[in-house]
Chain A
């Protein structure tokens, strides 16, 4: 039997282990200016756990921790952030679902002129933790086991996601430069993954969209003022393609609109901006994936336009008890 099954164990199952863990890289992104990123809503083996570490460096004229991306003319922000979290894939109502929590941390510094006052300060510490839940509504059934994994292809899948940030992060009401936002905020979105061609590692191509709307409560103590922000509409689009079995890349576009902020009755401008960028991803081993991306806004010449660019490195460590058990047996 051992001889007969050698092809199965050495050839296919090895690849499947990789795939099983590769497919869970879904992370709600705290640095919203960059969007969630490509291959964000691919599905994995139910029961898979993952821990991400996301490092990002951003600069621009809006607080990268502010979900509304409200630009402040003449402002200059620099942020060095890290985000850690935990996620688990599980079936809910016989559909694939992901629940996750992330906590941002790091430091932001900047020069801001607001209401005739100049602020030059730095914030550090923990940001608002964010909970997110997503559930697939159109697409293949959840991946419950390895046979399902073998047969999985996203084809055309649509999820519904909901995110909610809890305003317990570091906040200083004497400065507009903060990591915590001092208000509830969250989003509702409908990520779409559209498989183009074969679903073969090394040849996978997808077109992905994420239309979402961000909703924010008022911040009643924004440097002593009240800040109201209208809903902000965000659409991400990604054309992703495998270069090799473990290496892939993506062209990323993101658009922002709406999100007009009013501070003590003084209205700002609505967003109408685009960002473009690219991502490279590499599967290091059965457990670990690393992605690197860069994005920058375009059409951002006017002072009120959002200007933002940033690098992001994401390392994800994933595991599943079945896969770990197989590995232990293999190593005996």
Chain B
């Protein structure tokens, strides 16, 4: 027995040396477990502790037990965000320079634009596994489907994963006639069917709990990537979660945004001077809508709220289980959404044109359109731009775009690494790419120059440990910048300044410049008034392009949008008076019946 242990120890040491890794067992004992909870398309203000009326007691409890970060950036859509999360490398180098679904002709075949997490990078689970962690994943993957790209091949010991970007929560139905089935893997094998009584959020949680329990006694810490499908559309949720907000959203997005902003100010999430971003010009003023329209549109938000609450419930189950087995106190939680809330109607985009192949496919698979069927298999509900802007209160725009509403998200970090006051708020400039160096620090591991014989691209993130320990307010120095490019839209943030280029009509198809300290909602373009700052920021953009292999796509999902949306005019509340002015009531003493 002793001999076996000795051999195992020598082998482990050898593996670590060969792979260039070292793990540091902290003097206090076991290294912390790490749980990343990623909510798909959850917006900045959707958690209670970030201003939401949606009931999220379990995520709120993590916030109150940890720190909330208000200046945390992801990418503008899911797979680029996820690739940067797991690799710590910019999306244009790690294979998700564009989403697989939208790779442009001039990007095809170019390194960095494979449409999956390419093999030139390593991943958090690979490095943490090498450092002695168990590594588990449940939920959405969206970074490759071939055997060398699935979770098991990228460092996860155990997994139950949806390989696609979205799909039914109830079964294997996917969205297009050519890709009718969602693909799932479990522990590295492709599933031919789903478990009995499958419901995504519940099954993911059940699986993860079983993985944790199976290894619990061996003394090794674990890393769990809980990549929830919720609350991505379609809004599929069990019936008993659908009617918890009936009628609550009939008053609409304008008022709800104002309410959330008020709460955000009370909570200290945003400064008191913050205003709401302009409502998107093609989204109607809610007060103009008929009660029936309000109820139908409000029902979509009711379902979204139920979906978030259901997810929170299952997060609560996981947290409670960790408490029950005595692991909660030694677990780091990192909770956030992967990009802005979804304001685009994906169903309409794919299956909304009569006479097309995918319209026929939607007719056969996604045609449960009755409002009482919403949430069931075969129904497809997304809440649209009006509610997406609520989720992104107080910002402008939403998923896919590089306005703050597309890329800024709420972040909670709790657990033993946090030395800041519990429940506190930090405004440091954070990036999703920071998570790789942060977790390596937590695990006592290092990012190697080479991995399995390949030179690794540099990480672009900064560890949060000094921020979490209270030694720094931000992981970034003044000169550090963050930059993004997706679907041809571009942005750079340095300090309070933000440079942005976006397709019309959401952008100007030209560079815009904003000072986010004064104008977090990007209402006032300062480019013309600040040519010097514009030039400075453009230089940073050029630097980013050069260092990160950025190829501006020759085609874009947004290229024809100017022709699809109505002409853009300013949104002025109460305009036009023609339909907003109330009946004039004369003074009573001047009213009379007609003379006969």
Contacts and interface: CB of A to CB of B under 8 A. Distances in A.
B369 A8 contact: no
A4 B283 contact: yes
Nearest to B239: A198
Interface residues of B, number: 32
A147 B247 CA distance: 8
B291 A12 contact: no
A200 B373 contact: yes
Q: Which bucket holds chain A's interface residue count?
A: 20 to 34
B521 to A, nearest CB: 21
A147 B372 CA distance: 12
Interface in B287-303: 288-297, 299
Contact of A202 (B290, B296, B348, B370): B370
B369 A4 contact: no
A156 interface: no
Nearest to A204: B372
A3 B283 CA distance: 9
B250 to A, nearest CB: 7
Contacts of B297: 8
Nearest to A152: B372
Contact of B284 (A4, A12, A13, A202): A4
Interface in A222-277: 245
A217 interface: no
B165 interface: no
B247 A151 contact: yes
B370 A146 contact: no
A201 interface: yes
B282 to A, nearest CB: 6
B549 interface: no
A117 interface: no
A199 B243 CA distance: 13
A147 B295 contact: yes
Nearest to B379: A200
B53 interface: no
Given A3-B282, A4-B282, A150 B370 contact: no
Interface string B437-457: 000000000000000000000
A115 B247 CA distance: 66
Contact of B292 (A3, A146, A201, A203): A146
B573 interface: no
Contacts of A7: 345, 348
A147 B250 contact: yes
A3 B566 contact: yes
Contacts of A202: 370
Contacts of B294: 147
B71 interface: no
B246 interface: yes
B376 interface: yes
Contacts of A12: 292, 296, 369, 371
A16 B295 CA distance: 12
A330 to B, nearest CB: 13
B416 interface: no
Contacts of A199: 372
B344 interface: no
A173 interface: no
B504 interface: no
A198 B239 CA distance: 9
B373 A198 contact: yes
Given A1-B282, A4-B284, A151-B246, A198 B376 contact: yes
Contacts of A4: 282-284, 384-386
A201 B295 contact: no
Given A1-B288, A4-B384, A150 B376 contact: no
Given A147-B291, A147-B292, A150-B296, A5 B370 contact: no
Interface in A181-231: 198-203
Nearest to B564: A3
A126 to B, nearest CB: 42
A330 B525 CA distance: 42
Contact of B299 (A145, A150, A200, A245): A150
Contacts of B385: 4
B227 to A, nearest CB: 29
B368 interface: yes
Contacts of B345: 7
A21 to B, nearest CB: 15
A150, A202, A203: which has the most chain B beta carbons within 10 Å?
Answer: A150
B372 A153 contact: yes
Interface in B240-266: 246-247, 250
A16 B371 CA distance: 9
A245 B369 CA distance: 11
23 contacts: A1-B282, A1-B284, A4-B284, A5-B284, A7-B345, A8-B292, A9-B293, A11-B369, A12-B369, A12-B371, A13-B296, A15-B369, A15-B370, A16-B292, A147-B250, A147-B292, A147-B294, A147-B295, A150-B292, A150-B371, A198-B373, A199-B372, A203-B373
Which 5 residue pairs spanning A and B have beta carbons closest together? A147-B295, A146-B292, A1-B284, A200-B373, A200-B372
Given A145-B291, A147-B250, A203-B373, 8 more contacts: A4-B284, A8-B293, A12-B292, A146-B295, A150-B299, A151-B247, A153-B372, A200-B370
